[in-house]
Amino acid sequence: MSKRNKVKPDEHILISLFYTPYLALNAQIFQGLAEAGHSELRPAHFSVFQHLVPEGSRATDLAERAQITKQSMGYLVEALEKQGYVEQVADPTDRRARLVRLTERGKAVNRVAEEILKQAEAEWTKKLGKNKMQKLRHLLTDLAGEINS
């Protein structure tokens, strides 16, 4: 066991305990995406992927959910549209508005990312053990529920 692993959890700032696994997942996702032919994608692009609903979302709604400016979201959507990951179509409820939705290429990115996340979770389960991984999932689910209530 390395010296770093011997530091007690309560000696860490909580955000660093979240951030380290997050960075590890990000690195795995983007390496896997690059290997699958999507090397032009960057973490900022996932502000779009993460917040899109299957039937499509307005860019203003995406910006609000991602907590970024409408201009920044517009830039990301435009870049992803040029790369063939999303398309913009007329909103059937308001012809003046446009919906952003995934193309087949964008859906393929989601499938690759989901597979990478499953693999990462399996690796973490091997490292922590099934019981600890279940406990971690339950604690994070409880925390998310409390935050969102």
pTM above 0.85, yes or no: no
One of 1.10.3720.10, 1.10.10.10, 3.30.565.10, 3.90.180.10 is the CATH number of 42-102, namely: 1.10.10.10
Map residue 91 onto helix, strand or coil.
Answer: strand
Assess whether pLDDT exceeds 70 at residue 5. Answer: no
pLDDT in tens, 37-78: 999 999 999 999 999 999 999 999 999 999 999 999 999 999
113 or 12, which is more confident?
113
Residues of the chain with CATH 1.10.10.10: 42-102
pLDDT of residue 149: 85
Assess whether pLDDT exceeds 80 at residue 85. Answer: yes
End-to-end C-alpha distance for the chain, whole angstroms: 39
Assess whether pLDDT exceeds 50 at residue 26. Answer: yes
109 CB-contact burial (10 Å; exposed 0-12 / middle 13-18 / buried 19+): buried
86 CB-contact burial (10 Å; exposed 0-12 / middle 13-18 / buried 19+): buried
Assess whether pLDDT exceeds 70 at residue 132. Answer: yes
pLDDT of residue 1: 45
Mean pLDDT of the chain: 91
pLDDT in tens, 98-126: 999 999 999 999 999 999 999 999 999 99
Query: Would you say 116 and 28 are in contact if contact means Cβ atoms under 8 Å apart?
Result: yes
Structure-block tokens of residue 13: 């700032």
Structure-block tokens of residue 123: 């690796």
pLDDT band at 95 (very low <50, low <70, confident <90, very high): confident
